[in-house]
Structures are given as structure tokens and as C-alpha cells.
Chain A
């Protein structure tokens, strides 16, 4: 099941929403969150906030306040580039 999450991302032909992935894999959203968190801890997935203006924008002076997604953008989860095989599939 855990590998299905990675495979779904590897074979996706464009961005997918978390809900869409949950329906596609027939995995409860809560369980999917846990699986994603596991792969993030393992370093196979990267999770981040889309806008990411906060810390970096400390340098941008008066423009800092004009940042859209200032309060935090949508979370994105992407594969970390790496090639490896799955021995236990």
C-alpha cells in the first residue's frame, strides 16, 4: 500500500489533489496523510507550502506585505528525485 502512493505520483500525468489521490487509491484520506508523512520522514517525498513567502520575504522590504499566500499557501507533496528498486513488491 505504501508503495502505491509513490507509484501513483510517478505515473501521474499532471498535478493531482489529495482528495483525488485518496479516491484513486481507495485509501481513507486520514490513512493517506499518515502514509505521506511516513514517506516524508523517509526522505522519499517532499512536503512544502506553495507560497513560502514568509521567511524568505524578510529581505524584500516594503513589498513583503504584498505577497499573495502570505498566510500560507496550499501544501504540495512531490517526489524526491531518486532512483531505487522496491525489493518487496
Chain B
């Protein structure tokens, strides 16, 4: 690159001699046009024209006529041997060099520039070795909050919906002469057990979205992406892949669309195939339900391990695909702007929690409600035995017949019962539906066992209010547990009741007495198979039908194999 002459202290910018010569020629030509000479500094105008400013060129040509056009073309031609097509680059570069040199002479800089608070925090959180452990520790805190702290509220909503609310609906229907009818069964066993079974997890999602909003608004999420990108890059994957993957912690659908930020189609497809392995928030209710039944003392750890498994599987599959279907392209490095840390505002955090939770509730009242009704109808239609509509043993229903046909596929994984395979089939619509279907299929058996004590409306209201106060107290006492401080003696484990007992018995029966292992394999399967119909539609929209099918089949195969490894491997190890 040609050196720039710096004429301090006047500090006039002089370009390289060939450019200066052409600037003089052009300025002379432009100076012959009074309209231009009066309006613009001629040297500045000459520089702009050489840089290719189209607006000024049009003006200069209209005012100066062919003489300006010819002079500019001649100057460009003479400069072409020196700069090729990069004349504008040379001009801009020489200006930057001039300013840089001038600033270097005029300013006294400290040997080491002072570090801002953000810089100091970044030295720790984006540290080559500390960055990933810090990311994992923060994830651990998030899952402790979402499981331990919210558990009392989940129990409270569950008790309210399955107790007083179901009782009020039954009482109202009895008053309307519909007591014991199929309408009551539809509302109680279909809508309340299905949609209500999902809505009980609103506190869990509120807590998750609260934690994500804090991490996002504080600026940490960008650091998490940076730290994980470094790992991905080291493993030969495209670094930018982890940005869509972080989005995938919220929802797979926007994460698939976020692959648009990747430059090449191959990278977009590869990342689109990996994104669904990241555990989206819709899967969390399934984890919380199953982990609370089978691993009540270690639910947070199990959920944390599931999230890590999702990341690990995505990385392993990504590396495999890089070495097979997607080889040839080396991963491209990139620059990431890390915004300064900010203190999250209450308003901002609340807005995010509200928007995301409202989206979850909307889904519960649309997709999940519709699926619950379809499942209830299929459960109400007898295909065997002598039952009638809405009065048939669930084992003889159309749903049991359909789900039972798919059950052998899952038998080697330890959960080959029709209830679980049915939940996985409907879970293709949306992951929350797994919970609602389990609630519907197992609720009947559970309800038959539960003896209901009649209560008045006032007693119900008092019970609900008392339950809320009690849940709040329990949640506050659980808070220190997030950082490992236990304020009270651990409660003795009690035998599960109702739905939990029915689910536990179901897994025990289908796994030959290895219920916990089967439950773990079931959770791994839920983590890894197709997230939902909308994600499938998004994959088809972005990558085409062929890749959509590759994604569906690939995820199913991976989910089946990893779940098999968990169940059969666990049995071999004596689990």
C-alpha cells in the first residue's frame, strides 16, 4: 500500500502521487463549470467522483456535460494499473491511514487501555477455560429455579384444577341435568385433564422465561453464544450455528428461521437439522411431570442433564454430518459484537415473561385444546368389548387401538404401553400435548381410585387461598436451595398418588420393573424426536420437503437409538 504523506502541523491529507495528479486534473476540469465550482469544494468533489458517488456523478454530468464524463473516465483509466477495481478502497484506506497516523501523533495513550466493567466481567465469563463452566453453572441455576422453586405452585394449580374446578364443573352440569353424561366426561376428562394438565406448568414456564429474560437483557446470552461458538468452531462446526441453537432453548420454530443468518445454504440446512435437538421450552412440562414422579429429589439435575444431552447430541450429530453429507466447507470465522452489560429492568423482564407465557397459554387454548378433544373422542369410542360411547374401558377405545399398534416400536425402550406411545404420537402436534395425553389416558384409572369428599363453594375458595399462601411459603423456603443452602430437613419421600401413581405403575409394568430407567429413556426420547408440527412446517418452508423428511426420520432414529442406549445400557449396568 502506498504511504500517505502527513504534513503536520497543518495536517493536510495528501493521497498517493498518482491519485493526487488525477485529483488535480479533475479539479481543474470541474472548476471550469461555474455551477459546480460555486456549489462544491472542487478537490472534495473530485474525490467523491473517483470513489463512485452516483448521485454527485449524475449532477456533475448534467451540469458539466461530456467534458466531465470524459475527464473522469480518463482519470480512472490512468489509475487502473495502480488500483484495479479497488480505487475507492485505496482512497478510503488512505484516509483511514492518515487519521490513524494523525491520532497517533496527537494523542498520548496509556500502554494498557483502561478496562470498563463490561471488559472485566468479559475477561471471566468469556474466558477460554472458565466460559463454558460458567455457562453450565448458570443453566444449572435456571433449572433449579424452574423445578424446585416453582414446584409448590405447580402442585397448587394442579390441586385447584383437579379438585375444586372439576367439582364446580361437575356440579354445574348436574344442576343442568347433565351429571354423569358424556358432556361431563368430555369437560372433566378431556378439557380439564388435558388442557388443565398443561396449564399447571405455567409457573414453570414463567420461571424459565424470567431467567431467560434476565440473561438476555443483561447481555449474557450474547456471551453464551460466543463461548459456545468457540467450542463449536473448535469441533469443526460453523461457529454461527450456536446462535440459532440458543434461540432453540425458547422454541425450535424461530430457531429454524434464525438459520437464515448463516451465509451458505449447506450451513443453514446443517444447523436446521441440529436445532430441534436443543430442548425447547415446550418440552419442559414433560420433564417436570416425569422427573417429579420418578426422581423427586433430583428433578433439577435430571432436567439439567437433559438440556446438556440435547447440546451434546447436536454437537455429535453435527460433527458426523460435517464429515459425511456436509464435508468440503471449512467453518468460517466471524466477528460478534458483545453489547455492554446492562441491569435488566423490571418492565423489560416482565414484558418478556408475559409475552412468552401468554403465547404458551394461547397454545393451550387452541392446539392443545383441539388435540385433547380429539384424544378424548378417540378414548370415548369403543372398538372392542361391549362398551358404549363415553362409557367404555380406555383399553378398549379407538385411541388405545391406534396407540397400541405403535407400542411395539417403543417396547425395547421400556415404554411400550399404549398410553405412552399414544402420548408420543400426539406429542408430534406439540410437546405439551404429551402431558395432556398422559393426563387423559392415566387420569381415568387414577380418578377411579380417588375418593372425593364433598365440599362447599366457600370451603373450596378458602382451600384455594390457603393453598396459595402455603405454596408461596414453600417456594420462598426453596429459594436458598438454588445455591445449595437447605433451610429445612428434607421431606420423607411419600408414595405417589393419583395420576403420578398411575404413570409410575404404567412405566413399571411396561419396563419389567425398571420404571425409573424407562422414564429416563422416555424423557430422552421426548428430548430428541420431532419438536412439533409447526417446526416441521418451518423446516419444509426453509429447506424443502426432502430435508424436512430427513429431519423427521433422522430425529426419530436418533431419539430411538439414544433412548435404547439409556434403557438397555442402564439395565446392563444393573439399573
List residues of A whose CB falls within 8 A of some B CB: 1-3, 9, 12-19, 21, 23, 27-28, 31, 34-36, 38, 42, 46, 48-53, 56-57, 59-71, 73-81, 86-89
Q: Which residues of B contact A18 (CB under 8 A)?
A: 335-338
Is B359 within 8 A of A19, CB to CB? no
Contact across chains for B100 and A31 when beta carbons are under 8 A apart: yes
Q: Which residues on A sit within 8 Å (CB–CB) of B119?
A: 19
Per the bound structure, the CA–CA distance linking A9 and B30 in Å amounts to: 40
Contacts of A51 in B (CB 8 A): 243, 246-247, 254, 258
Give the residues in chain B near A38, CB-CB below 8 Å: 92
Given contacts A57-B254, A63-B534, A80-B263, A50 and B243 within 8 Å (CB-CB): yes
CA distance A31 to B97 in the complex (A): 11
A-B contact pairs, 7 of them (CB 8 A): A16-B335, A17-B335, A59-B257, A65-B355, A66-B209, A78-B333, A88-B2
With A56-B260, A62-B363: A2-B93 Cβ-Cβ less than 8 Å: yes
B229 at the interface (CB under 8 A from A): yes
Q: A64-B254, A66-B251 are in contact. Are A76 and B334 (CB under 8 A)?
A: yes
Q: Which residues of A contact B258 (CB under 8 A)?
A: 50-53, 56, 69, 73
Give A74 Cβ to nearest chain B Cβ, in Å.
Answer: 4
CA–CA, A48 and B216, complex, Å? 18
Assuming A15-B233, A68-B221, A78-B332, is B339 touching A59 (CB within 8 A)?
no
- Chain A to chain B: the 9 pairs with minimum beta-carbon distance, closest first: A65-B359, A56-B257, A74-B222, A12-B333, A78-B334, A53-B254, A67-B254, A60-B253, A50-B243
Give bound CA distance, A65 to B233, whole Å. 30
Instruction: Decide: A87 near B257, CB < 8 A? Known: A50-B222, A62-B367, A78-B240.
Output: no
Contact bitstring B380-392, A, C-beta under 8 A = 1, else 0: 0000000000000
Q: In the complex, which residues of chain A have a beta carbon less than 8 angstroms from the beta carbon of B126?
A: 17
Q: Which residues of B sit under 8 angstroms from A49, Cβ to Cβ? A: 261
When distances are taken between beta carbons in the complex, the residues of chain B under 8 Å from A60 are 251, 253-254, 257, 534, 538
What distance in Å separates the Cβ of B531 from its nearest Cβ neighbour in chain A?
A: 10
Contact between A14 and B538 (Cβ–Cβ < 8 Å)? no
Contact B103 A28 (CB under 8 A): yes
Could you say which residues of chain A place their CB within 8 Å of the CB of B263? 46, 78, 80-81
A86 contact set on B, CB distance < 8 A = 86
- Evaluate contact between B534 and A67: CB separation under 8 angstroms: no
Would you call A17 and B338 a contact (CB within 8 A)? yes
Q: Flag if B332 contacts A57 (CB, 8 Å).
A: no
For residue B15, CB closer than 8 A to chain A, the reply is: no
CA–CA, A78 to B356, complex, Å? 31
CA distance A60 to B99 in the complex (A): 48
Residues of B within 8 A of A56 (CB): 254, 257-258, 260
User: Interface of B with A (CB < 8 Å)?
Assistant: 1-2, 82-84, 86, 88-90, 92-93, 96-97, 99-100, 103, 113, 119, 122, 126, 209, 212, 216, 221-222, 225-226, 229-230, 233-234, 239-240, 243, 246-247, 249-251, 253-254, 257-258, 260-261, 263-264, 280-282, 332-339, 352, 355-356, 358-360, 362-363, 366-367, 534, 538, 541
A29 to B54, CA, bound (A): 29
Asked if B366 contacts A31 (CB within 8 A), the reply is: no
Q: Which residues of chain B are within 8 angstroms of A87 by Cβ–Cβ distance? A: 82-84, 86
A18–B336 alpha-carbon span in the complex (Å): 6
The complex places the Cα of A88 from the Cα of B1 at a distance, in Å, of 5
Contact status A21-B335, CB under 8 Å? yes
- On chain B, the residues within 8 Å of A74 by CB distance are 221-222, 225-226, 243, 336-339
* Given A57-B257, A64-B254, A70-B352: 15 more A-B contacts, CB < 8 Å: A1-B96, A3-B89, A14-B229, A15-B240, A15-B333, A17-B335, A51-B246, A66-B359, A73-B258, A74-B339, A75-B336, A79-B332, A79-B333, A86-B86, A87-B84
Kindly report which residue of chain A lies nearest to residue B264, judged by CB atoms: A81
Q: Are A61 and B534 in contact (CB under 8 A)?
A: yes
What residue in chain A is nearest B359 (Cβ atoms)?
A65
User: For A79, what are the chain B residues with a Cβ–Cβ distance below 8 Å?
Assistant: 332-334
Question: Contact between A76 and B261 (Cβ–Cβ < 8 Å)?
Answer: yes
Query: Which A residues are in CB contact (< 8 Å) with B90?
Result: 88
Whether B333 lies near A73 (C-beta < 8 A) is no
How many Å lie between the Cα of A66 and that of B100 in the bound state? 45
Nearest A residue to B542, CB-CB: A56
Question: For B260, what are the chain A residues with a Cβ–Cβ distance below 8 Å?
Answer: 52, 56
* CB-defined contacts of B363 to chain A, threshold 8 Å: 62-63
Give bound CA distance, A31 to B101, whole Å: 13
Of B216, B338, B359, B538, which is within 8 A of A68 by CB? B216
Which residue among B90, B253, B337 has the maximum number of chain A CB atoms within 10 Å of its CB? B337
> Is there contact, CB below 8 Å, between B261 and A62?
no
Contact A1 B246 (CB under 8 A): no
Q: Provide the bound-state CA to CA distance between A18 and B334, in Å.
A: 10
Known A-B contacts A9-B335, A76-B240; the reply to A71 vs B216 at CB < 8 A is yes
Cβ contacts under 8 Å, B335 to chain A: 9, 15-18, 21, 36, 76-78
Within the assembled complex, what's the spacing in Å between the Cα atoms of A80 and B233? Answer: 18
Select from chain B the residue with minimum beta-carbon distance to A50.
Answer: B243
Q: Which of A61, A77, A89 lies at the interface centre, i.e. has the most chain B CB atoms within 10 A of its CB?
A: A61
A74-B222, A78-B332 known; A50 vs B257 contact (CB < 8 Å):
no
Choose from B1, B230, B281, B333 the contact partner of A9 (Cβ within 8 Å).
Answer: B333
> What CA separation (Å) do A36 and B337 show in the bound complex?
12
Name A63's contact: one of B100, B233, B254, B337 (CB within 8 Å). Answer: B254
Q: Which residue of B lies closest to A32 (CB)?
A: B335
Which chain A positions have C-beta within 8 A of B234?
A: 14
Chain B residue nearest to A69 in the complex (CB): B247
**Within the assembled complex, what's the spacing in Å between the Cα atoms of A63 and B93?**
46
Per the bound structure, the CA–CA distance linking A22 and B253 in Å amounts to 35
Partner of B83, one of A16, A67, A76, A88: A88
Q: Which residues on the B side are within 8 Å of A80 (C-beta)?
A: 263
